[in-house]
Amino acid sequence: MTSEEGLRRMGRSEAASGLAMISPTAIYAILLLAAPLALIFIYSFLTDGDPGIIRTFTFANYIEAWSNELYRVVMLRSLMVALTVTAVTVLLAFPVAYFVSFHVDPSRKSLWLFLITIPFWTSYLIRVFLWKVILGYNGVVNSGLLGLGIISEPLQWINYNVGAVVLTLAHAYAPFAILPIFVALEKIDRSLLEAGQDLGESRFMTFLRVTLPLAMPGVIAAVLIVFIPTIGDFVTPQLVGGPEGRLVANLIQLQYLKLDNYPLGSAIAVSAMMIVTVVSLFFLYLNRRYLRGPES
């Protein structure tokens, strides 16, 4: 603040005050975010040597990342898992957000949201581990069902596969999907819904023609908020995915920490970022088409 005062005395402009004010945070982000991202971008075009990195420009890492069956399968699987998790999470979350926004007394809304967010604030690692415990070969579900005599031997299909990854991630990111949809629904002027009915539409048609389009920005936000961290998730596939459930984050970790191949790891990381960016831009484009310009 003293710097702001100083600048004001010197008669500097608002722009200078703003830049001065933001500079500590901006410099931090430039040094520790922009520069490192630029570095792995550069790494991805270099060649791995033993030891160290050889400074010759090459596309070999990208060619390897996109043509080697091993890597391509994992990247495609990551994309499919992330899209599935996103679809499942958002579809399951929408009715919850709708209920809290439209059917809960206003004074109790925060309480419901609080209930929904509690699980999110408990250790992610522990929650994922609990799913491993629940779904495992000797886990809670199998031991419970065996104990009750419903099954005679442990179910194999519930653990260490892509399905377990989807379930665990859908659980982990549930509040992320509910909150933006809830916010979008809350913003809808309730008289719009009355207007829909007043103009002759049933409740259901009013939902389709008024509520749903107006909730789309929230749905898109939910999609992005779930999709982006999901595609880069490391813990869940590592713990509950088994060998068939490994995702791109596990691959990057393998290249960096186990194989010490930074250029290839970087190429995979940059590729993953590109996938995230392309998919995100696609959803943002959808959103813009829905909204036709800024919100009023």
Residues 171-200 that bind another protein (CB under 8 A): 171, 174, 179-180, 182-183, 186, 189, 191-192, 194-200
174 closest CA partner among 132, 115, 214: 115
Six-digit token pair at 250? Answer: 């596990």
Size of the site for another protein (CB under 8 A): 120
Long-range contacts of the stretch 47-51 (C-beta < 8 A, 24+): 47/263, 48/261, 48/262, 48/263, 48/264
d(CA 204, CA 210): 10
134 closest CA partner among 122, 120, 123, 144: 144
CB 281 within 8 A of CB 275: no
Per rule CB under 8 A, is residue 117 in the interface with another protein?
yes
Supply the minimum distance, in Å, between the C-beta of residue 73 and another protein.
Answer: 18
CB 250 within 8 A of CB 238: yes
CA 130 to chain centre: 21
Nearer to another protein, 162 or 276 (CB): 276
Per rule CB under 8 A, is residue 102 in the interface with another protein?
yes
Per rule CB under 8 A, is residue 45 in the interface with another protein?
no
164 closest CA partner among 245, 264, 89: 245
Supply the minimum distance, in Å, between the C-beta of residue 74 and another protein.
Answer: 13
Pick one of 147, 149, 153, 258: the residue that binds another protein (CB under 8 A). Answer: 147
List binders of another protein among 60-89 (CB under 8 A).
Answer: none
Stretch that binds another protein, among 66-74, 83-91, 130-138, 157-165 (CB under 8 A): 130-138
Half-sphere exposure in the Cβ direction for 269 (13 Å, CA)? 22
Supply the minimum distance, in Å, between the C-beta of residue 239 and another protein.
Answer: 7
Per rule CB under 8 A, is residue 143 in the interface with another protein?
yes
CB 170 within 8 A of CB 120: no
Supply the minimum distance, in Å, between the C-beta of residue 64 and another protein.
Answer: 17
Six-digit token pair at 110? Answer: 């925060």
Pick one of 83, 87, 133, 254: the residue that binds another protein (CB under 8 A). Answer: 133
Supply the minimum distance, in Å, between the C-beta of residue 91 and another protein.
Answer: 12
Pick one of 34, 91, 151, 259: the residue that binds another protein (CB under 8 A). Answer: 34
Pick one of 75, 85, 276, 279: the residue that binds another protein (CB under 8 A). Answer: 276
d(CA 87, CA 168): 14
Nearer to another protein, 50 or 295 (CB): 295
List binders of another protein among 214-253 (CB under 8 A).
Answer: 214, 224, 228-229, 231-235, 239, 249, 252-253
